[in-house]
Structure 1
């Protein structure tokens, strides 16, 4: 009997109108309510490169890129061809009592880009990579302690959550991993105090913090690496968001000439198509974990090294090299930061524009003029960080630009567009921000009417 043909595209089209109802009934009802409240329930139908298309055919510029995974944009033809070739090739995937050819190729190519590291461990996600790094560091050093930074984000599984400095995520899930010490970002004195106990296995840090797009001082990362070496602590760079060319270098640590003991990658590694993570590490660390034949599988993951993820990773690196996307990220990012920074003198609510490459934070803050102070205070009293929605919502509804707030309760919008954005896309971004920010300075006005609606919703939520 022939197998029934499953046309997934037709299934999507047939059930698309029910997406909210299905999620309300079977998945996350609260997310559906959030999307409807802020007007984001437009029903996206198609993704192509840096663009999304809603159910009415309207085109949006995606500056979120799936939390940074679509560095090549959606549905890149090279990625599609690579994934199809795996399925058409009938490869012996996940034999387990064998070693993967494609994993060997991808590991080889990653280590060519990070030549001071020697071994690769593949996982299924960024959080899994963080978990592996914690285990590797503790085993390799014989120590328990882990040091992280305030405002950090490393994932939501238990070990990773323990290193994520955000009560909004941690609340209700304790007790968390013991032995974690949190220091202020950019504070070398605090780091040395923590490391001087010689009980710390690893210092795990995002070179540029995703929550807030917080930049390190020029001294912080080199100084941290030196302190780790002095006190026998492993320096772990969480490049899950900053890596893969996002900041205009393959790794963000390259901006500060730092060579970590471990580098964590994920997100853009597979071009967004297949879950994947990687830990790049020194041989001395790796060999202490997998030190005997009976410990050959002492740590692993069932779906790690699957052929689809490995093929997608290989294709992603090829596309990045062929299309010179790392260089493009550096160029477009510099242009965007310059243009957005140029608006600061004209808008009292706009405070800072920072970042590297195409990881950019646009920060807002309290106004000085009396006409805006009362409106700002109304929003902040209702819900800290609510003002930023007065920029992101009009960007979406009026300018067809999808953005995100850089963290709970923050006043910063984070831009993580695909590395494929064009000069015209940059003009689109600048024009949209200029008009949305200008509107936020008009009191009374349509944007502040939106603000009152958001305040009313926040009040009802807390009642």
Structure 2
């Protein structure tokens, strides 16, 4: 690689520097590199369940493996790729920033692009007036915790059972799944859990008037749990009554995922004091998170000139991230992406509900837009019940792997279980999927679920293999 000077005196990397060629030359080392230098346990998981196909290309809702086989991605990077992979408008925006040689991250200046992105975001929440940018959803949650304590002078932080707000220490303290917390304590003091969708429990938790903020996902990612119609509005009223800030975690549900820009938009009158967004706002390229907040809260944090930098993040307002966010919001509007999410989501929900009526293993189907959960439950027929109970005895939630693995292996559909020990498979496809993609999804799920209702079958043979692996792992651990 060599470096040349341009006419302006800046350095330009020789175009012969080819990252694609570097990746291709090391493709055969993909898993050995990770085993040696990164997370060996994750490599073992991928190989055990047959996901070690080595993806080499992504475009829109599709992935291609090293053999050239095409897959439909219903995971979309845990919701990051709302626009699909490598959307040309986002890519062009990033190239424009690089070609423009902007004075990025001067620090003793302010960013035009950050101001523009903040303005665009606040159009979707007109009761809020300020934005704080971060590098991720978890970092946004950390900021919201600090802002809430500074604004209220209270120590308490409240979250819901089965919640997920991130894995940094503050956000981990509000995690509703103990498996993520084990071995990392002590965590943040004064962080407490309350039942989701239970206003009586919430009022009891708030009554002491020591809670700075109540954090809630409008639709919970772990299980795709949707509250009753009046829950969020009632929670907001209780927070107002007891002087607690109401914070909506829209990291996964926001930016069009549910067929509205925010999931709270499905519940008229809900106007949180803070909203945290991330994931899809990135356009799938450069991480970005944002906290939208009321001005009085913001002003409690940045209350004097000598406190102008009491909270921040080195890379948070970098021009590439801001450009990706601006381009993403423009694409959502110009290409009517959110409308497509609502339309295709309605179609898929109706299709899965028909499957639920015909298959005893399908216990429930729920969702909004393109955030859909298919919950499986114990069957009534004796032969299936015996097989189900065997799996549950070994590892609760293992049955979902009997659906997700054949979907991947036989139908080239990538999806995920909605949480540890969970019986729900979650769909988070790109918001740009077509009717043909919906056909692919429906036919694949129908075939795999139908096979699961036959015992013995290939699905239950897989279950036996997974159970043996689980037992072996437990004994070795």
Aligned to 2:6: none
Aligned to 1:101: 112
Aligned to 2:103: 92
From 312, 315, 339, give the equivalent of 1:303.
Answer: 315
1:421 and 2:433 matched: yes
Q: Over residues 100-135 of structure 1, what are the superposed CA-to-partner deviations in whole Å (9 max), with x where a residue is unaligned? A: 110000001101121110000000000000000000
Q: Over residues 74-106 of structure 1, what are the superposed CA-to-partner deviations in whole Å (9 max), with x where a residue is unaligned? A: 000001100101110000000000001100000
From 26, 30, 41, give the equivalent of 2:41.
Answer: 30
Cα distance, 1:331 vs. partner? 0.7
Q: Over residues 328-373 of structure 1, what are the superposed CA-to-partner deviations in whole Å (9 max), with x where a residue is unaligned? A: 1111101000001101121110111101000000000001100111
Counterpart CA distance in 1 for 2:84 and 2:139 is 24
Counterpart CA distance in 2 for 1:211 and 1:6 is 42
Taking the TM superposition and a 5 Å limit, the aligned residue runs for 1:14-413 are 14-257=25-268, 258-413=270-425
Determine helix, strand or coil for the equivalent of 1:298: coil
Counterpart CA distance in 2 for 1:175 and 1:272 is 34
Q: Over residues 24-69 of structure 1, what are the superposed CA-to-partner deviations in whole Å (9 max), with x where a residue is unaligned? A: 0000001111001111011111000000001111110000000000
Counterpart CA distance in 2 for 1:337 and 1:346 is 14
Counterpart CA distance in 2 for 1:72 and 1:96 is 31
1:10 and 2:21 matched: yes
Counterpart CA distance in 2 for 1:256 and 1:232 is 22
Runs (4 or more) in structure 1 with deviation over 4 Å come to none
CA contact (8 A) 2:86 2:284 kept: no
Counterpart CA distance in 2 for 1:127 and 1:17 is 33
Cα distance, 1:398 vs. partner? 0.6
Determine helix, strand or coil for the equivalent of 1:343: helix
Counterpart CA distance in 1 for 2:209 and 2:137 is 28
Q: Over residues 181-218 of structure 1, what are the superposed CA-to-partner deviations in whole Å (9 max), with x where a residue is unaligned? A: 21100110011111111111000000000000001111
Q: Over residues 138-162 of structure 1, what are the superposed CA-to-partner deviations in whole Å (9 max), with x where a residue is unaligned? A: 0000001011000000000000000
CA contact (8 A) 2:133 2:290 kept: yes
Counterpart CA distance in 2 for 1:356 and 1:345 is 19
Cα distance, 1:6 vs. partner? 2.3
Counterpart CA distance in 1 for 2:356 and 2:135 is 41
Task: Note the residue ranges of structure 2 that are not aligned, 5 or more in a row.
Answer: 4-12
| Number of equivalent positions | 463
Q: RMSD of the alignment, in Å?
A: 0.8
Counterpart CA distance in 2 for 1:154 and 1:414 is 17
Aligned to 1:461: 473
Counterpart CA distance in 1 for 2:285 and 2:173 is 28
Determine helix, strand or coil for the equivalent of 1:352: strand
Normalising by structure 2, what TM-score?
A: 0.96
Counterpart CA distance in 2 for 1:250 and 1:72 is 14
Cα distance, 1:374 vs. partner? 1.1
Task: Note the residue ranges of structure 1 that are not aligned, 5 or more in a row.
Answer: none
Aligned to 1:433: 445
Counterpart CA distance in 2 for 1:115 and 1:7 is 45
Cα distance, 1:16 vs. partner? 1.0
Counterpart CA distance in 2 for 1:200 and 1:271 is 35
Counterpart CA distance in 1 for 2:368 and 2:445 is 19
Q: Over residues 360-414 of structure 1, what are the superposed CA-to-partner deviations in whole Å (9 max), with x where a residue is unaligned? A: 0000000110011111111111111000000000000111000000000001000
Cα distance, 1:255 vs. partner? 0.6
